[in-house]
Amino acid sequence: MVDNFALLLIHGLLALAGWRLMLRDDLDADPAPSPASTGEGESTRESRPRG
Amino acid sequence: MVDLFLTAFLLAFVALGIRRPFLWVLAYLYVDILAPQKISWMILSKVPVSMIVWMAAFGGWLLVDAKEHSRFTLRQVLLVLLLLWCGYTTLMADFPGDAVNKWSWVWKALLFAIFLPLTLRTRLRLEAAVLVMVLTVGAIIISGGMKTAMGGGGYGFLKLFVNDNSGLYEGSIISCVAIAVIPLIVWLMKHGTIFPPEWRVKTFAIALIFACCLMPVGTQARTGLLCIGLLGVLSLRTVKRRFLYLTLIGTLALVSVPFLPDSFRARMSTIENHQADESASTRIQVWQWTWDYVKDKPMGGGFFAYLGNKISYKTVKKDDSGGMTSIETQQITDQGRAYHSSYFEMLGEQGWPGFVLWALLQLSGLWQMERLRRRWLKRTGPGEQWQAPLATALQHAQLIYLLGSLFVGIAFQPFILMLIGLQCGLWSYLRRVEQPVGARLRAKPGPGLTPSGLKPLKPVDAAL
């Protein structure tokens, strides 16, 4: 009974994790860093003509 | 029924891998940790599940996966050297037949530890590998923890899914591993993205940690108790309110003592009074024998070299009952006793070269994780919060394993080799993601570049 409960619970969670992973593109490639986090965004903003 | 359930689960998981072949790597982690083919009596037990999933994992990586970010690290080189050395000592083994038996699973575990980091190219892959390892070992721990809570424990009595006392289903090993994974559970609870932090995740994680702490009680393995002690000390490095933490831990320890079974307390008391305990006395004698053995054979005797030992020792038992103290001495002769220590296991079986390689592998892991921890600890940017805690969790898991290894022969335990694979993957990944910025800063200023390596800003006024 206890064994079955543990198996059912963990396999349910593993299956859910597998499903969620399958739907995520960042599993195979990290998302491109946002411009703000690289510092390049600041230079872009700075170089944008004002007014 | 269980058989059909496990078969259906594995088939479904493998099917998901058709879209994302990395899931086959996760499937191998699952199969190697839980060994569903041993739980099953019908379908899975008749199919070479481990080999099929390994071929899918390796084939998927080789044929489909991108490899431009896969790096071979120094520690993987150490693993390769260890693999080759183990192969050599198996050929020269004192007991060739037995040595080949152990070699048949050791080489696979080492090969997978070499391979795993090559696949851990993204943050999500690292997290997924940690999650699958924790959940899979969690199945054994939840079952063992619940049985312990219901009073079904006892040294050598706690029944897990598989009763062949091998791999993670051996009492001392699972109690050491159960404590070693606690830092990883905490990391997943705080930094997980597959199951993001929320009340259900936290409730499950806390319940799993509780079950982990019950494993040393259920298996009555003294090693586990020492590992809990070390975990308590190590946690002082990461907790914010140390005084509150110490008070809570102290209170919890005091409150839990009355609930511990008498047999557990009796067995734990032999940590102090080891002279009366046959198991502890044997270890010291075997370690002495191993030390003498490598003096004669510094290259080791190959797997199962301990079968050649014959030891004789005395146990001293003190009895204080009835107002009198009686001392009983017993002479015991034994042969073919196992090392009961990973350090002596490596020394006796693989000699000094193998021991040095293994020690380098462990020490370099501690050092690398410490470097990562320090490098990322003070960063506050978005997406920079999970690195230092993961490095710390992997380091603490390894330290707990190294303490447990003093008393259990788990030098080649596949779960621990997977942890080493994770460390290599994290080290390689973080060096890569840091590189573009570092390389840019180190780059010589070329035409049109500032000393920082960044393109100069256009004069704002000129653009107007």
SS (H, E, C) A1-51: CHHHHHHHHHHHHHHHHHHHHHCCHHHCCCCCCCHHHHCHHHHHHHHCCCC
The more confidently predicted of residues A2 and B180 is B180
3-state secondary structure of B349: helix
Query: Token pair of B97, please?
Result: 């037949």
User: How near does any CA of chain B get to the CA of A49, in Å?
Assistant: 6
Examine residue B448 and state whether it is found in any structural domain, yes or no. Answer: no
| Interface residue B128 vs chain A (CB under 8 A) | yes
Of A5, A13, A21, the CB nearest to B23: A21
Answer yes or no: do B24 and B131 share one domain: no
Average pLDDT score over residue span A22-35: 83
Q: N- to C-terminal Cα distance for chain B? A: 76
Examine residue B452 and state whether it is found in any structural domain, yes or no. Answer: no
For residue A24, the chain B residue with the least C-alpha distance is B124
Answer yes or no: do B152 and B43 share one domain: no
Answer yes or no: do B282 and B414 share one domain: yes
Q: What is the pLDDT of residue B269?
A: 65
Examine residue B441 and state whether it is found in any structural domain, yes or no. Answer: no
Q: Output the CA–CA distances (angstroms, integers) from residue B300 to B270, B294, B304, in the order listed.
A: 32, 6, 10
Assess whether pLDDT exceeds 50 at residue A38. Answer: no
Examine residue B447 and state whether it is found in any structural domain, yes or no. Answer: no
Please choose, from the candidates B414, B421, B398, B405, the residue with its C-alpha nearest in 3D space to the C-alpha of residue B136. B414
Backbone angles phi, psi at B436, to 5 degrees: -55, -40
3-state secondary structure of B314: strand
Answer yes or no: do B261 and B366 share one domain: no
| B81 neighbors B110 (Cβ within 8 angstroms) | no
CA distance linking residue A45 with residue B2, whole number of Å? 60
Query: Token pair of B139, please?
Result: 């199945």
Answer yes or no: do B264 and B281 share one domain: no
Q: Output the CA–CA distances (angstroms, integers) from residue B44 to B52, B216, B428, in the order listed.
A: 11, 30, 36
Work out how many domains chain B is built from and give that number.
Answer: 3
DSSP B65: S
Supply the DSSP string of B387-412, one letter for each residue. HHHHHHHHHHHHHHHHHHTTTS--TT
Q: Are B124 and A46 a contacting pair at CB < 8 A?
A: no
Residue type at position B354 = G
Supply the DSSP string of B147-211, one letter for each residue. HHHTT---TTT---S--S--GGGSHHHHHHHHHHTHHHHHHHHHH-SSS-SSHHHHHHHHHHHHH
Of A6, A14, A26, the CB nearest to B122: A26
Answer yes or no: do B77 and B151 share one domain: no
CA distance linking residue B278 with residue B316, whole number of Å? 9
Answer yes or no: do B421 and B301 share one domain: yes
Domain boundary among B248, B272, B296: B272
Q: What is the pLDDT of residue B346?
A: 95
For residue A40, the chain B residue with the least C-alpha distance is B454
Answer yes or no: do B75 and B52 share one domain: no
Placement of tokens 């004002």 in the chain: A50
Examine residue B438 and state whether it is found in any structural domain, yes or no. Answer: no
Distance of CA B223 to the CA centre of its chain: 14
Helices (H), B48-170: 49-63, 74-91, 96-119, 123-149
Q: Are B464 and A49 a contacting pair at CB < 8 A?
A: yes
Specify which residues B327 forms β-bridges with: B318
Determine the angle formed by the axes of helices B342-376 and B74-91, rounding to 10 degrees.
170
User: How near does any CA of chain B get to the CA of A41, in Å?
Assistant: 12
Q: What is the pLDDT of residue B221?
A: 78
Q: What is the pLDDT of residue B454?
A: 40
Q: What is the pLDDT of residue B444?
A: 46
- In chain B, residues 27-86 whose CB comes closer than 8 Å to chain A: 30, 39, 65-66
pTM of the predicted structure, to 2 decimals? 0.85
Domain housing B347: 70-119+276-432
Examine residue B39 and state whether it is found in any structural domain, yes or no. Answer: yes
Q: What is the pLDDT of residue B156?
A: 60
**Residues in chain A within 8 Å Cβ distance of B146:** 2, 5-6
Examine residue B27 and state whether it is found in any structural domain, yes or no. Answer: yes
User: How near does any CA of chain B get to the CA of A35, in Å?
Assistant: 12
Q: Are B13 and A15 a contacting pair at CB < 8 A?
A: yes
**Residues in chain B within 8 Å Cβ distance of A9:** 139, 142
Q: What is the pLDDT of residue B198?
A: 93
Answer yes or no: do B424 and B282 share one domain: yes
Answer yes or no: do B247 and B370 share one domain: no
Q: What is the pLDDT of residue B418?
A: 95
Q: What band does A12 get if pLDDT is binned at 50, 70 and 90?
A: very high
Mean pLDDT per 10-residue interval, chain B, length 464 residues = 88 92 96 88 81 94 86 93 96 93 94 95 95 96 89 66 76 91 96 95 95 87 87 87 84 76 68 60 86 93 90 72 72 83 94 96 96 91 90 96 92 94 95 69 46 38 34
Answer yes or no: do B50 and B141 share one domain: no
Answer yes or no: do B102 and B131 share one domain: no
Q: Output the CA–CA distances (angstroms, integers) from residue B392 to B50, B189, B272, B397, B440, in the order listed.
A: 31, 15, 31, 8, 28
Specify which residues B3 forms β-bridges with: none
Domain boundary among B247, B272, B297: B272
Q: N- to C-terminal Cα distance for chain A? A: 72
Query: Token pair of B75, please?
Result: 């520690």
Domain boundary among B65, B82, B106: B65
Examine residue B450 and state whether it is found in any structural domain, yes or no. Answer: no
